[in-house]
Amino acid sequence: MLSAVLAATVALALAWSVVTMPHEPGGLTRRVDDRLADAGASHPVTAVLLDFRAYDTWLEVGVLLLAVLAVLAIARLADARATDNDERRHAFISDVAGVGVPLLVLIAGLLLWLGSHAPGGAFQAGAVLAAAGIVVWLNGRRSVVALHRPLLQLAVGLGFIAFLVAGVLALVAGRALLDYPPNLAADLIIIVELGVALSVGAALALLFVVGRPR
């Protein structure tokens, strides 16, 4: 009863505040557009994610890394021992995986490339990569994930490391941390995006594999 009253009060307060919220026409759209030429990406969302608010994205990749470390620590790793499981192989799934996995990797690369000037980007590419990894796992080819476990764990950290390197490069060039020099911004952003995409893909696949149902 008490919690119902509390929840209703919170909902009413939220409703009141969003309805009476002052409306600034255009929001930050114009300010982003004005500085888009200085950013290393021509798509406004990518420019915000990887240039204007790069700190935010960096720490978010850090959150992902922490979550993977915590799940690896909590989950019973003995359970997650990965060997090829031929019982799990199924002719149909094998066929789908044979065509689908290379296609998914291609699509991930396309999304990554599109991100600089169109909708797409590192997170979408990473999600597609993770899907490819999960298809491989479901197909029973568990050793693919198991053999390269240290490699996968390195990949999870890659996004964080890429941001760190790009940020420090900006420092070395005499600018603020993560304030990319304009002539290098586009290249640095592509490198960071590649790192983040691999990171997101590896992290999501690992989270699935470690926490999978028996």
Partner 1 sequence: MSEFTVYALVSAVIFGLTLHGLIVRAHLLVKVIALNMMGSSVFLFLVAVAARNADAQPDPVPQAMVLTGIVVAVSATALGLALIRRLHADGGHERLPDNNADGQ
Residues at the interface with partner 1 (CB under 8 A): 3-4, 6-8, 10-12, 14-15, 18-19, 21, 23, 25-29, 32, 44-45, 47-49, 53, 56-57, 60, 63-64, 66-68, 70-71, 74-76, 121, 123, 200, 203-204, 207, 210-211
Q: How far is the CB of 102 from partner 1 (least distance, A)?
A: 25
Nearer to partner 1, 7 or 147 (CB): 7
Kindly tell me which of 10 and 106 has the beta carbon lying closer to partner 1.
10
Cβ closest to partner 1, residue 42 vs residue 85: 42
- For residue 5, the minimal CB distance to partner 1 (Å) is 10
Considering the complex, what minimum distance in angstroms separates the CB of residue 160 from partner 1? 13
Nearer to partner 1, 14 or 147 (CB): 14
What is the widest separation between alpha-carbon atoms in the chain?
Answer: 61
Nearest alpha carbon to residue 155 among 130, 187, 124: 130
Comparing CB distances to partner 1, the nearer of 90 and 117 is 117
Q: To 10 degrees, the CA torsion angle through 95, 98, 101, 107?
A: -100
Q: How far is the CB of 86 from partner 1 (least distance, A)?
A: 26
Q: In angstroms, what is the minimal distance from the CB of 83 to partner 1?
A: 21
